[in-house]
């Protein structure tokens, strides 16, 4: 018990100790801004992997660590699409995952935001044209926000989400 | 005489007339045999009364542009340090059936199903010929790795249903999970058959993320494959690109400058550290010990930020090139790295002792998800999972690559095979990584970090690259095509081998312990699905 307390005291507060995002924040269209205005104070995300190399997942997981601590901005990760306001999709859509993505999209209640995370989700990246890939995310479900990068750094994802949540009607 | 030579001599002694050809490819003996003799010879190599080799990899090559046949290779790891033996069979173009070795050698189970899906070659006598990579909606006769299948072919659709194995009886029920899971993880389908609490059977269904990686490699120039290898499994970006480079350099006859070899060692150990530390936290979190996760993910982040400062990529991407490394690390950066790593080592040591002091956590970890040594050996299990089940194999020691031949390395091995043993292996390996990084800092020579990769190897030559990634042994088989392109690239992440073993580790455990067991294996879905 005392060791845990000592460890915590020795470590101190680490939140926010990260370099600022170097990449420009993606633009938010007026239609997306209108949808996003509803979620200004709280946004619940469901992440769907449709064929990524799992680097994007690692960066999404990093957002929950004490350094980025995404919950302090009111962003939560939900376990089910039925509890989500936004879907974050990573990876090119493989032909085996196409159905599952569409099902997850249908299960997310309206109004919803779809975020394509990473180069693969935006234009299939290195897997463009492959027989096993059926296209980027916006070929299957409408995408509102695109966060480029291979993979985007957590600080870049954070900046993009904050830009999305800061929009006003 | 090396162990491999001794093994070949023994094999030739026993099977004199049945061996069709004997050759060596870069110190690995290749024994060609006729289809009819395959099972007997493979069994001799595998069995304890013969050579006690484990099947490490089985793969096929479509040779039809050069010779009218398909060839199937079986790579066995012999018990001696660093001994490999390859058995190969040729299938003429008209012949699509070959004998299955799965009924006697379990490790071939998934390889043979994979070859059947990707090449259309049928392993006769395989007990389970359901589709593995091709999900049911792929049209009949789609075999993407055959040379007459275009890489950008647009696939049609058909109707079909995967038949899961069912256990029937009073009170037995099934729990299907996935492909989309509750956490931020990759897609895969698990189906538990449960009576009351204990799991009676677990069936895995993977390959949801099949992206056609092996086909994408084909016809690329050899020097261009690195960026694709980095995207096979993101968390092992450096390990995969290094294994690719090792294979390509061996194939092209390039000698990497010593400084680059040391830098590769440094980066590979950084990758191992952040993944192992992250895993220890995540395993504890699945037993509801969130404190460990908070501390461990903080340390993991520190290492990833360090990697970002050193190379400009948190995942160490773009560092490896065929012929060396694209970047250099200065003396001051090296000192900073050593300081940071030492400080993380102390930090992590504190955390490890806090974790093991916690009796209720130990209670969850101990004797959970036991993978026995026998099962591990039968399935050729490797890496962290294997070493927790007393499989003493580590490519860094057995087939030294990068600068490992010059460095002192201790390989931790435990024999309990439970979740706690796997946590302990990770903690011990983090300590080892820190010691290796310290040794790299002391011994790194000056000089160039890169030599040009100009030569184009003759079509049909091949080489093998083996690297101990943080999960285990990563293998790349690389065959040259015309004009310095790739004819075939077989990628084997350790996950592909370890996934089937998880089905045995969960038996008799309860479903709430599955996340814990799964996390302690922590296998890549992307690396399996390709």
- Sequential pLDDT tens for chain A (169 residues): 788 888 888 888 888 888 888 888 878 888 888 888 888 888 999 999 999 999 999 999 999 999 999 998 889 999 999 999 999 999 999 999 999 999 999 999 988 999 999 999 999 888 988 999 998 999 999 999 999 988 999 999 999 988 888 865 4
Rounded Cα–Cα distance for residues B498 and B389 (Å)? 12
Strands of A9-167, DSSP E: 43-49, 75-77, 86-90, 113-117, 145-147
Rounded to two decimals, what is the model's pTM?
Answer: 0.93
Average pLDDT, 10 consecutive residues per value, chain B (530 residues):
77 80 83 89 86 89 88 88 85 88 90 92 90 89 88 86 88 88 89 90 91 90 91 92 92 91 93 93 91 92 93 91 91 92 92 90 90 90 92 88 89 92 93 93 90 85 91 92 90 92 91 90 90
pLDDT digits (tens, 9 = 90+) for A54-69: 999 999 999 999 999 9
Closest residue in chain A to residue B214, using alpha carbons only: A130
Closest approach of chain A CAs to the CA of B289, in angstroms? Answer: 12
Which candidate from B179, B297, B305 shows the least CB-CB separation from A66? B297
CB atoms within 10 A of CB B405: 12
What pLDDT sits at residue B52? Answer: 84
Q: What angle do CA B445, B450, B455 make, to 5 degrees?
A: 135
Q: Are the C-beta atoms of B474 and B240 separated by less than 8 Å?
A: yes
pLDDT of residue B245: 93
Task: Say yes or no: B207 contacts chain A, CB-CB below 8 A.
Answer: yes
Q: To which H or E segment does residue B475 belong?
A: strand B473-480
C-beta separation of B152 from A132 below 8 A:
no
Considering only CB atoms, A7 lies closest to which of B179, B227, B354, namely B354
CA distance B137 to B48: 42
Q: Report DSSP letters for B65-128, one per residue.
A: TTSSEEEEEEEEE-SSTT-EEEEEEEEETT--EEE--TTT-GGGHHHHHHHHHHH--EEET-S-
Set of chain A residues whose Cβ sits within 8 Å of the Cβ of B305: 18-19
Question: Looking at residue B1, what is its pLDDT?
Answer: 57
β-bridge mates for residue B195, sequence order? B172
Instruction: Copy the structure tokens of residue B265.
Output: 């060692």
Residues forming beta bridges with residue B480, ordered by sequence position: B486
What's the CA gap between B282 and B296, in Å, rounded? 8
Inspect the interface and report whether the beta carbons of B301 and A52 lie closer than 8 Å.
no
Asked if the Cβ–Cβ distance from A127 to B216 is below 8 Å, we say yes
- H/E element holding A7? helix A2-11
DSSP label at residue B224: G
3-state secondary structure of B8: helix
**B135–A96 CB contact, under 8 Å:** yes
Q: Which of A131, A151, A153 sits opposite B155 (nearest CB)?
A: A131
Give the whole-angstrom CA distance, residue B276 versus residue B284: 13
**Is any Cβ of chain B less than 8 angstroms from the Cβ of A48?**
yes
What residues does B321 pair with on adjacent strands? Answer: B324
What six digits make up the tokens of A123? Answer: 């234009």
The two tokens of residue B273 are 């550290």
Quote the pLDDT of residue B267.
Answer: 94
Scanning A108-127 for CB atoms below 8 A from B yields: 125-127
Provide the Cα torsion B510, A107, A56, B235; round to 10°: 20
The per-residue DSSP string of B327-373 comes to ----HHHHHHHHHHHHHHHHHHHHHHHHHHH-HHHHHHHTTSS---H
CB proximity B342 to A under 8 Å: no
Which residues does chain B have within 8 Å of residue A65's beta carbon, measured at their own beta carbons? Answer: 294, 297-298, 300-301
Answer whether A133 sits within 8 Å of B304, measured CB to CB: no
């Amino acid at each position: 018990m005392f060791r845990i307390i000592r460890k915590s005291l020795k470590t101190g507060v680490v939140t926010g100790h990260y370099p600022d995002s170097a990449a420009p924040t993606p633009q938010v269209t007026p239609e997306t801004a209108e949808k996003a205005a509803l979620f200004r104070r709280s946004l619940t995300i469901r992440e769907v992997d449709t064929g990524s190399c799992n680097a994007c997942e690692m960066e999404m997981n990093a957002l929950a660590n004490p350094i980025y601590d995404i919950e302090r901005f009111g962003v939560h990760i939900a376990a089910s699409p039925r509890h989500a306001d936004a879907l974050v999709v990573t990876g090119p859509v493989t032909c085996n995952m196409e159905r599952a993505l569409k099902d997850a999209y249908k299960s997310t209640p309206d109004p919803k935001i779809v975020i394509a995370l990473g180069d693969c989700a935006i234009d299939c990246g290195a897997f463009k044209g492959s027989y096993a890939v059926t296209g980027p995310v916006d070929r299957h479900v409408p995408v509102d926000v695109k966060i480029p990068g291979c993979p985007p750094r957590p600080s870049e994802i954070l900046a993009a989400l904050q830009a999305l949540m800061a929009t006003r009607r | 005489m090396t162990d491999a030579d001794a093994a070949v001599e023994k094999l030739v002694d026993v099977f004199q007339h049945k061996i069709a050809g004997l050759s060596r490819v870069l110190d690995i003996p290749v024994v060609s045999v006729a289809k009819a003799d395959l099972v007997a010879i493979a069994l001799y190599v595998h069995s304890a009364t013969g050579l006690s080799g484990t099947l490490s990899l089985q793969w096929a090559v479509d040779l039809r542009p050069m010779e009218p046949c398909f060839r199937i290779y079986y790579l066995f790891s012999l018990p001696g340090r660093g001994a490999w033996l390859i058995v190969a069979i040729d299938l003429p173009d008209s012949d699509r059936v070959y004998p299955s070795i799965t009924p006697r050698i379990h490790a071939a189970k998934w390889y043979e199903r994979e070859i059947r899906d990707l090449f259309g070659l049928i392993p006769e006598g395989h007990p389970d010929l359901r589709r593995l990579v091709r999900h049911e909606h792929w049209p009949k006769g789609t075999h993407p790795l055959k040379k007459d299948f275009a890489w950008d072919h647009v696939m049609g659709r058909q109707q079909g249903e995967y038949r899961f194995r069912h256990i029937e009886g009073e009170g037995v029920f099934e729990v299907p999970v996935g492909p989309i899971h509750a956490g931020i993880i990759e897609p895969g389908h698990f189906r538990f058959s449960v009576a009351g609490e204990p799991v009676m059977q677990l069936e895995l269904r993977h390959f949801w993320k099949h992206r056609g990686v092996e086909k994408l490699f084909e016809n690329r120039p050899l020097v261009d494959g690195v960026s694709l290898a980095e995207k096979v499994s993101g968390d092992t970006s450096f390990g995969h690109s290094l294994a690719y480079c090792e294979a390509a350099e061996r194939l092209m006859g390039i000698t990497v400058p010593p400084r680059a070899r040391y830098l590769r060692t440094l980066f590979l150990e950084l990758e191992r550290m952040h993944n192992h530390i992250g895993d220890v936290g995540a395993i504890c979190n699945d037993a509801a010990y969130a404190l460990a996760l908070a501390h461990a993910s903080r340390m993991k982040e520190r290492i990833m930020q360090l990697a970002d400062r050193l190379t400009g990529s948190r995942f160490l991407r773009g560092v490896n090139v065929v012929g060396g490394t694209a970047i250099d690390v200065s003396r001051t950066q090296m000192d900073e790295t050593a300081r940071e790593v030492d400080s993380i080592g102390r930090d992590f040591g504190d955390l490890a002792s806090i974790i093991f002091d916690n009796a209720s956590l130990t209670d969850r970890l101990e004797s959970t998800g036991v993978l026995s040594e026998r099962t591990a050996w039968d399935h050729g299990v490797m890496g962290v999972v294997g070493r927790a089940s007393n499989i003493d194999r580590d490519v860094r020691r057995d087939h030294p690559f990068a600068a490992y031949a010059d460095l002192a390395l201790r390989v931790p091995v435990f024999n309990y095979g439970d979740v706690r043993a796997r946590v302990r292996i990770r903690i011990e390996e983090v300590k080892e990584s820190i010691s290796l990084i310290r040794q790299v800092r002391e011994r790194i020579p000056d000089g160039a970090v890169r030599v040009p990769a100009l030569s184009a190897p003759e079509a049909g030559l091949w080489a093998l690259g083996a690297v101990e990634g943080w999960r285990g042994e990563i293998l790349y088989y690389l065959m040259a095509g015309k004009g310095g392109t790739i004819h075939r690239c077989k990628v084997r992440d350790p996950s592909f081998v370890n996934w089937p073993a998880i089905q045995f580790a969960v038996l008799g455990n309860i479903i709430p312990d599955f996340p814990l067991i799964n996390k302690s294996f922590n296998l890549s879905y992307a690396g399996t699905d390709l």
